[in-house]
Structure 1
């Protein structure tokens, strides 16, 4: 659409003039450098980010997910460049540990955050994370992110996960989840042997804890999302 950025800014300004919200965040059409967005929405207009940044009131934040929709890491120079384009520090929308959609729902992303060095903090207006479908299990990696900022170069993502698991799950369930991390996080439902899945289900079904029930439901396929579900045909 011609004048896409300017039209979007006008809409957000209209909303801003009528809401009592204390903070407004806009999600632009092209919220990442990822070419997947160009495939989904059409080729982005030249200078789109610069146009959004120029047209939008600087008091309004702008979401950004990084070099990819689901970025593996964030660099200081990348965020500085985006900040210059947007004329404000980006509001980071971090797509981890999200596991929605057909490609990601067969996995439980439980490992501690990596690739988010403390040095990116001054380049951001905020850092939000996109949670997993399992709210209790989301807390395991979520609690490691502030530790990454707090400890800086001394941050150890394995130790941070061990600490959050101990705090949230207690010793028995914490030990079980950490021992099965590769199966849950990397192998996933589609590649997991049926006998292994049944053994895991038996172990977690015996534990009275919300996180254990989330794992059992995941093993039973209750969290799996399909393309039909994404398209509203469920």
Structure 2
């Protein structure tokens, strides 16, 4: 099997809840480069200045941190982007305020972005002419932004029925209309058959390509763990082999990581292999990646504990099992920062907060 090594594969920090630190984000730049990943998108749900208060500028401190982070990615030779969610512009009242988007994009242009993502996820979608409005906003962003690649995330970014249950019934022909209205150079995010898809069937991707009029850009919700259920698990395994099979059928793959920065690195480290290696195998990639990242003793413990941390999770572990794991990883905190994150997670430090969904 030969894969297109030109595919863009990277990371989108696009989760709810507890964010990474600015230092984490800058450390990621050289890590991505070393693992054959080509971009990072800054789009945490907790950054109100990209979502509910998107019109307001960032604080001077955060704006400085954004510039420093952008420079770290430039120095590493990794593309840098930002995800903006001007959700209220999709409403009837928002049409009169489209110029606010231009002003925000002019601010973002000072970062000299490589990528700009316009994100319309997590909003009500049962409104007339939604596709036409979102396409027009994305086309306008493409005209105003100096980013060389624009990606639109539609409101209905999967065929998962949960989206219509939560956000209302999608307008008829929504995906087809989005694709028809968008400039051909603009990509479209897609999470697969589910919001958090376990696999990406090739037939599904071909059907979505037909509906969108272009290959989808996968927003891969693995290893993300920001939800009520997934927050009780740490996803340490390499991505499934279906990412390798999907690579020729998509325009890119953006992995959405976990709230735990260091615990996210094993899964992210294998993504570059998954989309480019001719003979990618998940178990082999998991083992080799863990041994490449950590001392042998710690790597062996992590491999042994994947059934506990990833499969059983917090609800499946007894209090005695949790305490034994805490003791194991506390004794190895000199080995890697991942051990501190595991202990804090076991002690409830990353408990899901439903309030984060409304911020």
- TM-score normalised by length of structure 1: 0.94
Indicate whether 1:18 and 2:105 are aligned: no
1:162 to 264, 269, 287: 287
Cα distance between partner residues in 1 of 2:225 and 2:194: 16
Q: Are 1:169 and 1:211, in contact at CA under 8 Å, matched by a contact in 2?
A: no
Aligned residue number for residue 186 of structure 2: 60
- Specify whether residues 21 and 151 from structure 1 end up closer, same or farther in structure 2 by C-alpha distance, changes over 3 A only: closer
Alpha carbons 1:74, 1:115 under 8 Å: kept: no
Q: Does 1:77 align with 2:203?
A: yes
Partner of 2:50: none
Secondary structure of the corresponding residue to residue 133 of structure 1: coil
Stretch of structure 1 that moved more, 10-19 or 205-214:
10-19
SS, match of residue 128 in structure 1: strand
Asked if structure 1 preserves the Cα contact closer than 8 Å seen for 2:217 and 2:252, the reply is yes
Query: Cα offset for 1:127?
Result: 0.8
Is structure 2 residue 317 aligned with structure 1 residue 185? no
Displacement of 1:72: 1.1
User: Following superposition of structure 1 onto structure 2, how do residues 1-234 of structure 1 map, counting pairs within 5 Å?
Assistant: 1-152=127-278, 154-207=279-332, 208=334, 209-232=336-359
Question: Mean Cα displacement is larger for which, 173-182 or 140-149?
Answer: 140-149
Residue 117 of structure 1: CA displacement?
Answer: 4.7
In the TM superposition, what is the alpha-carbon distance from 1:104 to its structure 2 partner? 1.0
TM-fit CA distance, 1:165: 0.3
CA RMSD of aligned residues (A): 1.4
Provide the rounded CA distance (Å) in 2 between the counterparts of 1:117 and 1:182: 22
Q: Distance in 2 between matches of 1:9 and 1:188?
A: 41
Alpha-carbon separation, structure 2, partners of 1:90 and 1:231:
28
- In the TM superposition, structure 1's runs of 4+ consecutive aligned residues that sit over 4 Å from their partners are none
Alignment size in residue pairs? 231
| Distance of 1:79 and 1:173 partners within structure 2 | 38
Shift in Å at residue 115 of structure 1?
Answer: 4.8
Tell me: higher relative CO, structure 1 or 2? Use CA pairs within 8 A at least 6 residues apart. Answer: 2
Output the CA distance in 1 between the equivalents of 2:199 and 2:211: 20
User: Whole-Å Cα distance in 1 between the matches of residues 325 and 181 of structure 2?
Assistant: 53
Contact 1:99 1:132 (8 Å CA) reproduced: yes
Shift of 1:80: 1.3
SS in 2 for 1:101: coil
Is the 8 Å Cα contact of residues 159 and 194 (structure 2) preserved in structure 1? yes
Shift of 1:222: 0.8
Instruction: State the alpha-carbon separation in 2 of the partners of residues 150 and 231 from structure 1.
Output: 38
Greater strand proportion: 2
Question: Which ranges of structure 2 fall in alignment gaps of 5 or more residues?
Answer: 1-126
**Which of the two has greater helix per residue?**
1
Residues 100-127 of structure 1: per-residue CA shift (max 9 Å, x gap): 0211111101122115253322211101
Whether the aligned pair in 1 keeps the contact of 2:175 and 2:211 (CA below 8 Å) is: yes
Q: What CA distance in whole angstroms lies between the structure 2 residues aligned with 1:14 and 1:117?
A: 32
